[in-house]
Structure 1
Amino acid sequence: MKETDKTTTTVKSADRVLDIFELFAERQEPLNLSELSRELDLPPSSAHKLLQNLLARGYLETDKQGKTFRLGYKLFEIGSKYAQRTDLASEFQYAAQKLVDELNESVFLTIRNGDKALYIAEKQSTHPVRFVSHLGMQLPLHATAMGKVMLSGLSEDELGKLYPDKLLGRLTETTITDFGELQAQLRRIREEGVGYSMGESVHGIRCVAAPIYGAPGQITASLGVSMPEARWDERTWERIVQAVRQGAKEISTKMSYLP
């Protein structure tokens, strides 16, 4: 066999193994050989060999009759070991760099501190005109996209305890000051998975943010991208929204693999 043929065969086999993992993860139920062959358009003989190899290595498990298969302990063991070397700050830096490379807008990471959004990490764009935070800076949750995203993870009772008098301070002319409007925005964030700030904390700065989830499924932080209104256009904004969603999802996935 030529070296190029061998390389092609190896890559194809690796793709098939990854296809198997992704299929099981998507279906979230045991599959038999016929179902797997049909879903992945694989000859039963080839599928059988791959399944047996993965079974032997612990990447798949089977029932007592050996008829159906599901993901095995080895994948979770790898995820657990990965999580032991993972922390929020380092995962943010990796994801934020990708966002800056793609969008060239500033990226921020915040956590909740009472009724404030605490800025704990950032990655700046190369534009001379940009929003620059100071690490340790705190802004009211209701006045920032990242803060509103974290508020969306609270129950109505928790929200009421945080704002017992339902009074919301104003930072700019567009800051939300009506508690009912805040509740409505939080409902939309829960549905859409992203929150927005249109100059509500800093005049002339727009921000979109998405939640970062921890292992228990609770919002532990927020990822946001800010841009000056002068650079805003609908097409660019939509790209930013989708990129922030994906970036937060990637960080959440990595952070939720806890031992």
Structure 2
Amino acid sequence: MKETEKQTATVKSADRVLDIFELFAERREPINLTELSRELDMPASSAHKLLQNLLARGYLESDKQGKTFRLGYKLFEIGSKYAQRTDLASEFQLAAQKIVDELNESVFLTIRNGEMALYIAEKQSTHPVRFVSHLGMQLPLHATAMGKVLLSGMTDEEIAKLYPDRQLGRLTDTTITDFGELMRQIGQIRRDGIGYSMGESVHGIRCVAAPVIGAQRQIAAALGVSIPVARWEPALWERVEQAVAQGAKEMSTKLYYVP
């Protein structure tokens, strides 16, 4: 076999191994050889060899009869070691850089501090006109997309205790001041997994945000992208929504293994 043919065969085998991992990740029930071969359109003989190799290395486990398979301890061991070497800020930088490279819009990360959204990381766009924060800056939760996302991770009772008099301060002429409207938007965020701010904390700045899901499926932080109204258009808005949702999902998965 020529060298290029060997390389092609090696790459194809690697692809098949990744296909196997992705199939098992999607399924909750163990999978047998016949089903795997059919699902991946792979010859049974080839599938059997790969399964045996993965089984021997601990990447898969089988039942006592060796008839059905599921993901093994090795993948979780690797994931655990990876998680020990990551943190929220460093994973934000990786996710944010992707968004800036794709959209050239500023990206921010916040956590909750009482009634405020605390800015703990940022990645700026190169546009001369952009929203600029500073680390440690705080804005009211109800007036920001990221803050509303953070609120969505709380129970209704916890939110009511946060605003006992139902009074919401106004920062701009579009800031939400009605508690009922705030709760309506929080309900929408819980359903859709994404929040918005339309110039509610800074005039002329719109923001899209999504939750970074932490341990016990609690919201650990919020990832957001801010856009000046002067650059806003529906096509860009849709791309921002997709990028923010994907970035938050990647951070959640890398840090906390949330699907």
**One fold, TM greater than 0.5?**
yes
Aligned residues: 258
Aligned-partner residue type, residue 38 of structure 1: R
Task: Output the CA distance in 2 between the equivalents of 1:255 and 1:216.
Answer: 12
Secondary structure at the residue paired with 2:215? coil
Q: Which runs of structure 2 are paired with 1:75-154 in the superposition (5 Å)?
A: 75-154=75-154
Show the counterpart of 2:73: 73
Correspondences of 1:1-259 after superposition (within 5 Å): 1-257=1-257
Deviation at 1:215, TM superposition (A): 2.1
Q: Which amino acid aligns with 1:88?
A: L
Q: One-letter code of the match for 2:212?
A: I
CA distance in 2, matches of 1:199, 1:129: 15
State the SS of the aligned residue for 2:216: coil
How many Å separate the matches in 1 of 2:137 and 2:33? 56
The one-letter code sitting in structure 2 at the alignment partner of 1:208 is V
Output the amino acid matched with 2:195. Answer: G
* TM-score computed with the length of structure 1 as normaliser: 0.98
Deviation readout 1:173-199 (Å, 9 max, x if unpaired)? 000000000000001101111000000
RMSD: 0.9
- Supply the AA of the counterpart residue of 2:12: K
Gap regions ≥5 residues in structure 2: none
Contact in 2 for aligned 1:80/1:257 (Cα 8 Å): no
Q: Which runs of 4+ in 1 moved over 2 A?
A: none
Identity, in percent, stands at 81
- Relative to the length of structure 2, the TM-score reads 0.98
The aligned amino acid for 2:173 is: E
CA distance in 1, matches of 2:115, 2:25: 37
Once residues 69 and 121 of structure 1 are traced to their aligned partners in structure 2, the CA distance between those partners, rounded to angstroms, is: 42
- Residue 257 of structure 1 deviates from its aligned partner by 4.2
DSSP-derived class of the 1:197 partner: strand
SS of corresponding position for 1:216 = helix
Q: 1:146 and 1:177 mapped to 2: Cα distance?
A: 17
Q: Distance in 2 between matches of 1:217 and 1:9?
A: 41
Kept in 2, the 8 Å contact 1:175–1:201? The answer is yes
1:17-62 CA distance string (max 9 Å, x none): 0000000101122000111001000111111000000000000000
- Structure 1, unpaired ranges of 5+: none
Amino acid at match of 2:93: Q
Distance 2:137 2:96 in 1: 19
